[in-house]
A and B are shown apart, each in its own frame.
Chain A
Amino acid sequence: MLPRRFCHCHRARLQFLSTRLIGQNVSGDQYDVIVVGGGHAGTEAAAAAARGGAQTLLVTQKLSTIGTLSCNPSFGGIGKGHLVREVDALDGLCGRLCDQTGIHFKVLNRSKGPAVWGLRAQVDRLLYRSAMQREVCATALLNVREASVEDLMVEDPDASRPGLARVTGVRLGDGAIVLGRAVILTTGTFLSGSLKFGTSSVPGGRLGEAPSVGLSLSLSELGFTKGRLKTGTPPRIRKESVNFDKLEVHHGDERPVPFSFMNAEVAIEPSQQLLCHLTYTTPGVEDVVRDTLAANDHVQQDTKGPRSLHLAVRPSRAQYRYCPSIESKVLRFPGRAHQVWLEPEGLNSELIYPQGLSMTMPVEAQVALLRHIPGLEAADIAAAGYGVQYDYLDPRQLHPTLETRKVQGLFMAGQINGTTGYEEAAAQGIVAGINAFLHTRSLPPFTISRTEGYIGVLIDDLTSLGVTEPYRMFTSRAEFRTILRPDNADQRLTERAYHQTGCISGARVVTARHIASRLSEGISLLKSLCLSSYRWKQLLPEVGISQERSGHMR
C-alpha cells in the first residue's frame, strides 16, 4: 500500500507527494485532459476536449463497455430530446450516433406546439455501442486506456484562481500515475456502487462490473460532500416468450426526424424499423409487490424512510417524487393500471426491454409478477431487474463550468452529479469536456445560461439548488420554454460555441450558418408579403383570419 493520500492543507505532505511523483515512473504519460469513465458523459467529454485540440485520455475499466446503454435502449423524449439536440448543436456525438443506430423514431407531443416536441428514438444497443467505440477510436488526439482509477493527484492551487488545490493527474489501479492538467470524473453509478437483488446486495456499478471504491475515498479526503442515491433497472425479457398478439402496437413516425442537425435522414430505412408495444399492469401485480415487500430491501427503504448509509451527509428524502420502480408506483398509486412499454433492444436482439417495470424484488417474485401482465404471462427473464445505490457528489460544489470549486482542473459530469438519464449525462459531459479543454489553454470558460438552453437550466439547477432525488429534465423546468425549442438549438448555441471554444468542427458551423441564412431569407420573404385580410382569407381559408379590420394590410 502506498502512503496515505494527499490532504490539501498539509505542506509536508505536498513535499512528500512530489518526491513520490518523481520516484514513480511517469514515462511520458502526460495529457491535457483525462476523462475517467466511458459512459455517455465520458465519451462526450473526451470527444469534445479532443475536438478542441487537447491531448485527451479516456480511462475506463473495460474498453468493451464504452458507449453501453446500461438501462433503456432509447434516447430522447420530452425535454430530453431538447438536450440531445443541444448536445448535437455543440458538435456532440449522441445525436449523430442515434441517427445511425435508431430502430424506431417518434416525435412526441406533435399536437402540443413546437416548443415541446419530444424527439425520441429506440436504438439498437449493440449498434450504438460499436458505433460509439468506432467514433471514439477515430477521434484524433483521443487515447483510450483500460484501467481503474484509484486516486487523484493534487498539488497547491494556482493562487490566481479560487480553489484549495489543483489536480495534476490520476493514479491507476496498477499504481501507474498519469499526469493531466484537467481531470473529468464521469463515473456514473460506480462510486461505491452496490447492486440490490431482493435482500442481497453486491458491490458493483453495473451488472458484472466492480464499483470504484478508491476514488470514492479519495474524493471524501479532498473534502467533497457526498450523498447516496438509488436507481433501478427492469428485467430483460426474451422476445420469443412474449405474446405480442393482444398488445397495443405503436409504430414509429413514417418519416423519422433525425436528432442531428447534420443529418437529413436516419440511417435505417423506416420500413426496416421495429415496433413498440404497450401493455398495462393488472391488480395481480399489486398483490405480488405487497406479498414480497419483506424480501425487498431497496423498496422498503422507500417506504420506511432513509437508512443511515455511509457518507450520506444530506438527509435523503423518504421518497423520490417520481417513482423509480414498479413497486413504488403501485404502492403510491394503488388501484391503477400502470403502463408498460415493450421496447425492442435491437434489430437482431432476442431481448425486450419492459420500460416502466424497473424492480428490485427477488428473481422468483419478478417471474411471478410478469405473469400478471397481459402479453407477458409466459415471459422468460433473461436478466433480472435490480436496484443500484451509489454515491453522488453534491453538485453545489461545482462552478457552472462543472469544475469543482475545491479542486482546480477537476471536473464532474453525469450521474456522479446526481442526475439520471443518458441525455442529462451527455449534456454535462460536453460542457465539462469543452471547459476542461479551455482550462488547459487558460481560456475564458464557456457556460450556457437558463435563457439559452436546457443545458443551462440543467447545470444551473444542479449547481445552485443541488439535488434530493435523481435529477431528470422536464420542459416545465425551463422558464424560457417557448424560445428554447428543439428546432432552434443550433441557432442558439453553435455559432457562439464555435467562436468561444474551438470545440466545434468547421462543417458543423457551416451547416448552422446555412440554416440561419435560409431562415432569414424565409422570414424576409414572409415579411415582404403584404395583403389585405380579405386576400389572406381567400388564399388560406383554413387559417381563420378575422376580417374585422379589413382593408388593413398585413
Chain B
Amino acid sequence: MQSAEEDCNAEVDPLAALLNDSVPKRRERIDRDGTYQAKGAFLRYNLLCNHFDQRQAHGVFETAGRLPSPAELTVWERQEDTEMDYGDLLAVFKPRHFCSVPPVGQGHTIFALSSGRGKCGVAVIRVSGPASAFCLCQLTRMKQGLPPPRTAVLHSISDPNSGELLDRGLLLWFPGSLPGLRPAEAGEFTRRAFQAGKLDLTEVEGLGDLIHAETEAQRRQALRQMAGDLGHLYQTWSHTLTRALAHLEAFIDFSEEENIEDGVLNQVDNFVRQLQMEIHSHLHDNRRGERLRSGVHVVIAGEANAGKSSLLNAICQRPAAIVSPIAGTTRDVVETALDIGGFPVLLSDTAGLRDTHDIIEKEGVRRTRERLEQADLTVALLDVVGLLEASNKLTHLLFSFLEDLNVRQKQQCILVLNKIDLLHKKELNDLHCALKKEEDLPTVCWLSCKTGSGIEEFLRVLRAELEILCGNPLLGMPSLTQARHRSHLHKCLEALGLYEYYKRADMALAAEGLRSALASLGRITGKVGAEEILNLIFRDFCIGK
C-alpha cells in the first residue's frame, strides 16, 4: 500500500495527470533537469509549457499516435511564448487525442487510499476499473458472489493468497459495465471522471480547491464551483457562441445555394454583443474569486515604532514577530496566513517606513514598498501621540502619509491609530472630532495593542472589509477563481473584437474570430466541440443536397 499512501497525500491535479499520461517522456526529462516541482499545479504546467520545444512536442504527438504537421508545430511555437495551459494541450489534441485513448472503463483497474493518511479508525479504499468486481470477490471470498449494488455490507476482508484476515469493513459496490490492478496516479480518479465527461475543467479545479480549502468561505466557493456553477456559466456562453458561429457558418456555406433566412447575421451580431457585455462585467469583479481562492494580501505598514508588529501579534494571538521599543526592530517582511471570519488572509508585517542609512533596513523599506504595491488591503498604522503633536496640520499629515503608503482608494485601506492608552480622554475626543470632519479618510480604528482595547472593533472592521473584497461566494454570479480563466476570457473578448472588426469586410476572417473566441472559452472548461457546430447548422436550417 506504499504507493497508495503517496497518492492520498499528493494533491488532486487531474490535469497534470492528463499531461503525465500523454507526456511520459517529458515528465522524466523535467525530473532529471530538476526543474520539476512536485507541488503547485499551476507552477507545474507552466513549467511544462515553458520548457516545451519542438522536439518535445514531437514526443507528445508520437505518444498521441501521430506525427505533427508543420502547421501544428507552428501553432505550438506560437503558443509557446504566450501562456499555455492544459486547455491548449487539449485543444491541440482534440478530437483525435481522445480517439487514440481507450474508452473510459477499459484498460487498467486502479486503487488508492481515498481517506487521509495517518492513524485513524476509519479509512476508505477506492478501487475503480474493469477488474474491480474480481478484486472484491478475491478480497472478501464471498460465496454468493458480489454484494447487492449500492448497498453497504459489513464483511471480513482477507488476503486472497494466504486467507489471513486483514480487517472487517463496509463494502460498497457500484457496478458498471466494466475486468491487473495498479495504484492510481495522483488525480487519476478525477481524470477518469473528466474524460468520461462527468466533470469539466472548472469542476475539476473546484474539486482541487475544495480539497485544499482552508477557510469556510473558500470551501463555499470551491463547492459552488465543483457543483458546476462556474462551468455552467461558461457553458452557457459557449453555447451562445456556438450558436452564433453555427449561424455564421451556415451563412457562409449555404446562403447562396440554399434557403437561409434573412436576419441570420443580425442575430449573430446580437449574440456577440450580448456576450461581450456579459464577459466584460464578469471580468470586472475586482478579482473577488481569485482573492478568495488564493488569500487576501493584507499589509500592515506605517512609520517606524508605530506598533505594527504588536498589531500583528495581537491579531494572530501569538508572538509571531519580535517586538521592542527600538525603532526599526522589524527589518524584513513577516508573513502569517490567517483565517479571519472564514476568509483566507495573508497578513504581512513590514519594516517601518523611514529614511535610514542602515543598508539592511533600507532593503527592508524597499520590500515594504514592494508589498504595498501588491496589497489588496493596507492597514495604515499611526502612532496617535505623533498625531496629537501635529494637530494643526492633521489632515495634510494624514493624507501625505496615506499617499506615501501607496493608498489610492480609501476602500483599500484601514487607518489604525495605535497607542490610545497614552492619551487622555479629552485629547482623544478632540482628535475624534477633528477626523470625523474628513470624509475622504478611510475607516478609522482606535486601539491600543498594549491594553488590547479596540482590537475587537478593528477585527470587526477588517472582517467587513474582507467580505467586500471577496464577496459572498454564495450570492450572485459565480466568481472567476483563477488567473487562467481571466486570461482566456480576455483572449475571448479580443477574438470577439476581431469578429466586429472583420464582419463587414471578410466573413471568413470574422468567423475565425468567433472560432478562436469559442476555443478560448472551451479551454476554460475543457470542452471544445467542432461537430456541435454542424449539428446546430443542420438543426436550424434546411440544407438540401
Residues on A close to B: CB < 8 A? 72, 77-79, 108-109, 111-116, 118, 231-232, 321-324, 326, 329, 332-333, 336-339, 341, 355-356, 358, 420, 449-452, 464-465, 474-477, 479-482
Q: B96 to nearest A CB, angstroms? A: 6
Q: Check if B325 is an interface residue, CB within 8 A of chain A.
A: no
Q: Most B CB atoms within 10 A — which of A72, A113, A465, A477?
A: A113
Judge whether B508 and A481 touch: CB under 8 Å.
yes
Residue of A78, A109, A355, A452 touching B69 (CB-CB under 8 A): A452
Q: Is the interface of A mostly helix, strand, loop or mixed?
A: loop
Contact, CB under 8 Å: A321 / B508: no
- Cβ contact within 8 Å between A113 and B508: yes
Q: At the interface with chain A, which of B183-191, B333-341, B362-370, B530-538?
A: B530-538
Please give me the residue from chain B that is nearest to A472 by CB atom: B545
Q: How far is the CA of A248 from the CA of B540 in the complex (A)?
A: 26
Q: Which residue of A has the minimal Cβ distance to B261? A: A336
Q: A113-B506, A480-B71, A482-B509 are in contact. Are A339 and B252 (CB under 8 A)?
A: no
Give Cα A408 to B304, complex, Å.
84
Say whether A482 contacts B69, CB under 8 Å. Answer: no
Contact check, B508 vs A115: say whether CB atoms are below 8 A apart.
Answer: yes
B105 to chain A, nearest CB (A): 20
Q: List 27 A-B contacts (CB under 8 A).
A: A72-B545, A77-B257, A78-B254, A108-B256, A112-B252, A231-B545, A321-B535, A322-B543, A322-B545, A323-B543, A323-B545, A326-B544, A329-B544, A333-B542, A336-B259, A338-B259, A338-B544, A339-B259, A356-B544, A356-B545, A449-B69, A451-B71, A452-B71, A475-B253, A477-B530, A481-B512, A482-B512
- On whether the beta carbons of B96 and A476 are closer than 8 Å, the reply is no
Query: CB of B249 within 8 A of chain A?
Result: yes
A113 close to B507 (CB less than 8 A): yes
Are B545 and A358 touching (Cβ within 8 A)? yes
Interface residues of B, count at CB 8 A: 35
Which residues of A sit under 8 angstroms from B69, Cβ to Cβ? 449-452
Q: Which residues of B contact A474 (CB under 8 A)?
A: 249, 253, 534
Distance to closest chain B CB from A388 (angstroms): 13
Chain A residues near B430 (CB, 8 Å)?
none
Would you give the shortest CB distance from A151 to chain B, in whole angstroms?
33
- Minimum C-beta distance from B456 to chain A (A): 57
Q: CB of B72 within 8 A of chain A?
A: yes
User: Whole-angstrom distance between the alpha carbons of A482 and B99 in the complex?
Assistant: 26
Closest to B252 in A: A116
- The residues of A that contact B404 with a CB separation of less than 8 Å are none
Is B508 a contact partner of A482 (Cβ separation < 8 A)?
A: yes
Residues of A with C-beta under 8 A to B508? 112-116, 475, 481-482
CB of B258 within 8 A of chain A?
yes
Cβ contact of B544, chosen from A116, A322, A449, A475, cutoff 8 A:
A322
Between B96, B252, B505, the greatest number of chain A beta carbons within 10 A of the residue's beta carbon is seen for B252
Within 8 A of A (CB), among B58-74: 69-72
Give Cα A356 to B257, complex, Å.
Answer: 10
On chain A, the residues within 8 Å of B539 by CB distance are 321
Interchain nearest-CB distance for B503 vs A (Å): 10
Q: Which of A114, A451, A475, A481 contacts B72 (CB 8 A)?
A: A451
How many whole Å from A547's CB to the nearest CB in chain B? Answer: 18
**CB-CB under 8 A for A475 and B252, given A358-B545, A482-B509:** yes
> Residue of B at shortest CB range from A332?
B542
- Distance in angstroms from A131 CB to nearest chain B CB is 25
- B96: nearest residue on chain A (CB-CB)? A464
The answer on a CB contact under 8 Å between A109 and B252 is yes
**B538 close to A78 (CB less than 8 A):** no
Inter-chain CA distance A113–B509, complex, in Å, is 8
In the bound complex, residues from chain A placing their C-beta under 8 Å from that of B538 are 321-322
Q: Which residues of B contact A337 (CB under 8 A)?
A: 259
Q: What CA separation (Å) do A9 and B256 show in the bound complex?
A: 53
A476 close to B533 (CB less than 8 A) = yes
For B537, list chain A residues within 8 Å (CB): 476
Closest to A323 in B: B544
Separation of A30 and B368 alpha carbons in the complex (Å): 88
Bound complex: CA A356 to CA B251 (Å): 18
Residue of B nearest to A326 (CB): B544
